[in-house]
Amino acid sequence: MKKRSLNQWFRWLHKWAGLVAALWLIVLGGTGFVLDHPEWRATSQATVPESWGSPDLTRFIRVTYMRKILVDSNDSSRWLGGSERGLWSSDDGGSSWQPVTFEGIDYSPQILALTPHPVEGHAGALVGTDEGIWQISPRGTAEYFALEEHSVNSLTPGAGTSEVLGVSRKSQVFVFDTATGQVDWADMQPVEPVISGPVTLNRYILNTHFGHGLAEGKYGVLINDYGGIAMVILGTSGFLFWFTRRRWRRSPSLSTPQRKKRITAWLFRSHAPIIGILAIVPIFYVSVTGIFGDHIRAIYKWSESITVPAVLVPAGFSMRSLADDIQDIVLNPADPDELIIATRKGLYTSRDNGRHWQRDDRLPIQKADYGNSLNLFRVGDAIFLGAGLDASYASQDGGETWVPVSGPFTGISSGAYSDGTWYLKNSQGVFAGASPYETQQTQVKPPPLEGMPVFLFLADIHTGHAIAPWFPWVNDFFAVLALVLIVSGPIIWWRRKWM
């Protein structure tokens, strides 16, 4: 038997690793590409039967029912509740809900923010959506109000008597005068000095895997997108390259030699130099971080205790640009000249109408990086902060001191105050109390929604939990095969080049 050369061994290894991994890498790349874009309305509002999901992911369905709440400050029976799945109203304190109709369209935008109208209050509440700002009409429907071409992810009372403060596309801060319709956009400058680490290993893994590590803002997500698309194309073209050549060997008369050469060359070039070489970096980091991410719950405490030094922290963690990272904004009730925003890296403040920003280090959470889980909102003269698994905090002195909020186990996302009672919303439900610091869970029911959002279902497939509890270990195997492919592939290409 003729001895194989080193190059032939690499070709054999690449072929069989690719054939074994092709289908699942296509699935991982395709689902990963969609999961990079939670802002897409279709995947948030389309549903599949809840029975299709695993217990690990179906527990998150309740989070999608209602992320934002608004309660009439003078009548605690009148509620609004919204999420990416729609807007609902209640006249009995949250015991029952009715969908709010959006006039002029036959669907509901994603609900991203709720705030009372600065003049009309709850009756004319403003709704921030992925299709601009809408207003609740006297008929109880929603009417288009402003900024139709913008996705408005945060709204809060402004400094003027008719003003609201907001954020568009997680990137641009604006002040909207509801009386005149004028919108003033902040001339936001890069943050100085640049913050580049260190970060906890947990956040390093998750931020990098979700496209928030290698580059800043949307550019990191675009790199992730390319990696996902490349996995789909490489899996498909690699299989076709193997299949067509195998078929021609078995049936030589199926095509002419010239046509075979053209097709083979096209498949090789689209697979290797055009797509594959450029995809090495994103496939490498999503594979490595994906292996850790598959078991993040098991290694969470350990990964939180490990700090990645600044020298190993890539540009995406620097936060020089705040674009695509502004989750929420509030006006400091104790200092109307100060704006506060919540980002992946914590809170930032500005005292020149949003032009320059500096890090606010008064937070009670002693971590180098906070991931994507900070929620910031204002209710009257109190500011609230939801910090994911790090629980929740409230401040009644403009952020000088933060006091833990008892009751909600995970971070709060919205709140209200009415008839002497504070209401706070998190993934478990609505909590209420006479003090903003001490609350207990209420019997407020979620809107009567059914099914599992397609986005969650795709996440269930991506992690493998939808198939079996042990499937993440199979995911790890395919991730290792992906690493084998990005090592052996360039070696083979270097010998063949453009073929």
Dihedrals φ, ψ of 285, to 5°? -75, -30
Are 332 and 340 in contact by the 8 Å Cβ rule? The answer is yes
Yes or no: domain 67-193+319-446 corresponds to CATH 3.60.110.10: no
b/e map 195-215, b = 16+ CB within 10 Å = bebbbbbbbbbbbbbbbbbbb
Contact 121, 73 (CB under 8 A): yes
Specify the pLDDT at position 410: 83
- CA distances 2 to 5, 15, 246, 491, Å, are 9, 19, 21, 22
User: What is the pLDDT at residue 3?
Assistant: 62
Full-model pTM: 0.89
List per-residue pLDDT tens for the chain, 499 residues long: 456 677 778 888 888 888 999 999 999 999 999 999 999 999 999 999 999 999 988 989 998 999 999 999 999 999 999 999 999 999 999 999 999 999 999 999 999 999 999 999 999 999 999 999 999 999 999 999 999 989 999 999 999 999 999 999 999 999 999 999 999 999 999 887 666 667 888 888 888 898 887 887 788 899 999 999 999 999 999 999 888 888 888 888 877 888 888 888 888 888 877 788 889 999 999 999 999 988 887 887 888 888 888 778 887 777 788 888 899 999 999 999 999 999 887 899 999 999 999 988 887 765 544 455 689 999 999 999 998 766 789 999 999 999 999 988 888 999 999 999 999 999 889 999 999 999 999 999 999 999 999 999 999 999 999 999 999 999 999 999 999 999 988 888 887 655 5
What residue segments make up the domains of the chain, in order of their start?
21-57+196-317+453-496, 67-193+319-446
> Nearest-CA neighbor of 136 among 102, 168, 160?
102
Assign residue 405 a region (left: φ > 0; alpha: ψ between -120 and 50; beta: otherwise).
beta
How many residues would you count in the chain?
499
Q: Helices marked H in 193-256 — which ranges?
A: 201-209, 217-250
CA-to-CA dists, residue 371 to 6, 50, 78, 209, 390, angstroms: 44, 28, 34, 12, 11
CA–CA gap between residue 329 and residue 207 (Å, rounded): 22
Dihedral angle over CA of 359, 365, 367, 369, nearest 10: -60
Q: Output the six-digit token pair for 147.
A: 């900024």
Return the pLDDT at 366. 54
Structure tokens at 330: 């509030």
pLDDT value at residue 266: 86
Peptide bond into 198 cis (omega under 30): yes
At residue 319, the pLDDT reads 75
Cα–chain center distance at 441:
27
- Cα(66)–Cα(90) distance, rounded to whole angstroms? 13
Question: Strand, coil or helix: what is 235?
Answer: helix
Q: Residue 480 is encoded by which pair of tokens?
A: 């290792």
Spell out the residues 6+ positions from residue 458 whose beta carbon is closer than 8 angstroms to its own.
31, 34, 35, 43
Cα–Cα–Cα angle for 419, 424, 429, rounded to 5 degrees: 120
Contacts of 219 (CB under 8 A, 6+ apart): none
Query: What per-residue confidence (pLDDT) applies to 368?
Result: 42
70: β partners = 80
Alpha carbon distance 272, 269 (integer Å)? 5
Tell me the three state secondary structure of residue 321: coil
Torsion angle (degrees, nearest 10) of CA 474, 51, 460, 293: -70
The per-residue pLDDT for 252 is 82
Strand 152-157 to strand 163-168: parallel, antiparallel, or no bridges (unpaired)?
antiparallel
Cα separation of 268 and 496, whole Å? 10
In the chain, what are the helix, strand and coil shares in percent, each to the nearest 5?
A: 35, 25, 35
- Please give the backbone phi and psi of residue 238, each rounded to the nearest 5 degrees, phi first: -65, -45
pLDDT value of position 369: 47
pLDDT score, position 387: 83
- Single-letter code of the amino acid located at 442: T
